[in-house]
Amino acid sequence: MLTLDLSKATRFLGADAMKKFEAPVAEAQKALEECTCEGNDFLGWMHLPSGITPEFIAEINATAKTLQQECDAVVVAGIGGSYLGARMVIDALSNSFGWLQASKYPRILFAGNNIGEDYLSELIAYLKTVRFGIINISKSGTTTETAITFRLLKTMCEQQRGKDVAKKVIVAVTDAKKGAARTTADKEGYKSFVIPDNVGGRFSVLTPVGLLPIAVAGFDITALVKGAQDMERICGIDTPYSENPAAQYAACRNALYAAGKKIEILANYQPKLHNLGEWWKQLYGESEGKDGKGIFPASVDLTTDLHSMGQWIQDGERTIFETVVSVAEPNCKLEVPFDAENLDGLNFLAGKRIDQVNKMAELGTQLAHVDGGVPNLKLTIDKLDEYHIGALIYFFEKGCGISGLLLKVNPFNQPGVEAYKKNMFALLGKPGYEKETEAIKARL
Ligand code: PA5
């Protein structure tokens, strides 16, 4: 269901480079399994897929059905790990132009992930024209971007639909006990789902954080979870090092990092996978970028970005490596047509599938990049469906856990994210930040 080809990456490494990582990977796997590593209170994602029951899925699907029946649009309010996974899956599975067509499912809109006044104003203007609901997602329940959005939309939803309907179409996904989102949900009587204490935001897509919006969008979360369950087994501690894709991926990227490759570019050849790059960047960036270390995660959409970033990748500083996510078979079929005049000279392609052209662009690019000194890892999934995306999610999560431990950082915290918040609160005069306000004023 997922294959990883490292042959065009390992040729940039010494003969025994991958072998050298076998013991450290085994150690990392063991530490994750036995919960003995740093950040061991955030390992709930490890066996999350196999712990998901049909009853739990049914509960999520029942809530999704209510939102589907009552709403034309559902706003997912959340930031970082509280929205990137859902957005990635929904985009990967949706019709590229679905937003232009009538659908039996609500349109899913993402907000609470920025503080753009125009963004929020324009969202509100649109929501005035439709019956909308809200999924308010925040583990801490206090994140500023999400809280501002929820404050605006909650009042609007209540005014527009009345308190009783609003109660049905506002759902909270948050901590079991603490935080403003929990307090509000309990006070107002909203349906709520719990984000487990031991699952960090960026590892939470297979909790209701991701599953509920994905189900509301009309996708099969049972198949998504099944893909993740199968990958949990495949990447498990009992799978030998050479056959374990997550272990191989983690080892290879760390070997490349040690060899001076400081940037990993995740490349896709399917526009629907743009947000896979956004989700992956958060997962790896927040997990590994600490203590002055970490591979910088970047992403490109190809062939589109070959006409913008292609020059840099081919010819810029040789500190990069590339991981290509390839989809073996698209869901649709389309051929290049024959044209009698052939003014564009494209008749040599007539009758060929568009995907055949795309695949040759992919192969040609891969070979050119390798020739240009860019190690290339290739990850192939059979097709874009719930099952394969579920497998991809778990593969990247497990790879990230192992990789962070190989790098000798705590992959499960994010202390660096607090720095901007402290300054922002001090600048905005938040009560309790008086000392910081004085200190920051002196620096301006
Ligand atoms: O991965 C993480 O932990 C973060 O990106 C969080 O998901 C993000 O900061 C949002 O936090 P919260 O869900 O508490 O609003």
**How far, in Å, from the CA of 349 to the mean position of ligand 1?**
47
CB-CB neighbours of 33 under 10 Å: 15
Contact indicator for 268, 301 with CB cutoff of 8 Å: yes
How distant, in Å, are the alpha carbons of 105, 185, 237 from that of 124?
Answer: 20, 22, 49
pLDDT digits (tens, 9 = 90+) for 210-236: 999 999 999 999 999 999 999 999 999
Each domain of the chain, given as residue ranges in start order, spans 2-36+225-412, 48-219
Kindly report the backbone phi and psi dihedral angles of residue 152, in degrees, each rounded to the nearest multiple of 5, phi listed first.
-65, -45
**Catalytically active residues, by annotation:** 286, 307, 421
Superfamily of segment(s) 48-219: Glucose-6-phosphate isomerase like protein; domain 1 (3.40.50.10490)
Please name every residue paired with 327 in a beta bridge, in sequence order, or none if there are none: 381
DSSP for 40-63, written as a single string: GGG-TTTTHHHH--HHHHHHHHHH
- What local confidence, expressed as pLDDT, does residue 441 receive? 86
Amino acid at 402: I
- Paired tokens of 404: 């962070």
As a whole number of angstroms, the distance between CA 164 and CA 151 comes to 18
pLDDT digits (tens, 9 = 90+) for 336-366: 999 999 999 999 999 999 999 999 999 999 9
As a whole number of angstroms, the distance between CA 202 and CA 199 comes to 8
Ligand 1: which atom is nearest the Cα of residue 209? 13
H helix intervals, 48-193: 48-51, 54-70, 84-93, 117-127, 144-169, 180-188
pLDDT digits (tens, 9 = 90+) for 128-163: 999 999 999 999 888 999 999 999 999 999 999 999
Ligand 1: which atom is nearest the Cα of residue 137? 13
**How far, in Å, from the CA of 192 to the mean position of ligand 1?**
18
As a whole number of angstroms, the distance between CA 19 and CA 337 comes to 49
pLDDT digits (tens, 9 = 90+) for 408-444: 999 999 988 888 888 999 999 999 999 989 988 888 8
**How far, in Å, from the CA of 41 to the mean position of ligand 1?**
16
Helices (H) and strands (E) in the chain, counts: 18, 10
Q: Which residue has the tokens 């300054």?
A: 423
Greatest CA separation found in the chain?
A: 76
Ligand 1: which atom is nearest the Cα of residue 174? 13
Cis amide linkage into residue 303, ω under 30° from 0:
yes
Query: pTM of the predicted model, to two decimals?
Result: 0.97
Q: Which of 79, 197, 396 best tests ligand 1's pocket when mutated (most atoms within 8 Å of CB)?
A: 79
**How far, in Å, from the CA of 175 to the mean position of ligand 1?**
12
pLDDT digits (tens, 9 = 90+) for 269-310: 999 999 999 999 999 999 999 999 999 999 999 999 999 999
**165 contact partners, CB below 8 Å, separation of at least 6:** 70
Ligand 1: which atom is nearest the Cα of residue 146? 15
Q: What is the mean pLDDT of the chain?
A: 97
Q: Do domains 2-36+225-412 and 48-219 have the same CATH topology?
A: yes
Q: Whose CA is nearest to atom 3 of ligand 1?
A: 201
Contact indicator for 225, 71 with CB cutoff of 8 Å: no
Q: Whose CA is nearest to atom 9 of ligand 1?
A: 80
Taking CB atoms and a 6 Å cutoff, what residues make up the pocket around ligand 1? 79-82, 138-140, 143, 146, 200-202, 286, 414
Q: Does the domain spanning 2-36+225-412 belong to CATH 3.40.50.880?
A: no
Q: Which of 82, 135, 136, 138 best tests ligand 1's pocket when mutated (most atoms within 8 Å of CB)?
A: 82
- What local confidence, expressed as pLDDT, does residue 88 receive? 98
Q: Whose CA is nearest to atom 2 of ligand 1?
A: 201
**How far, in Å, from the CA of 417 to the mean position of ligand 1?**
9
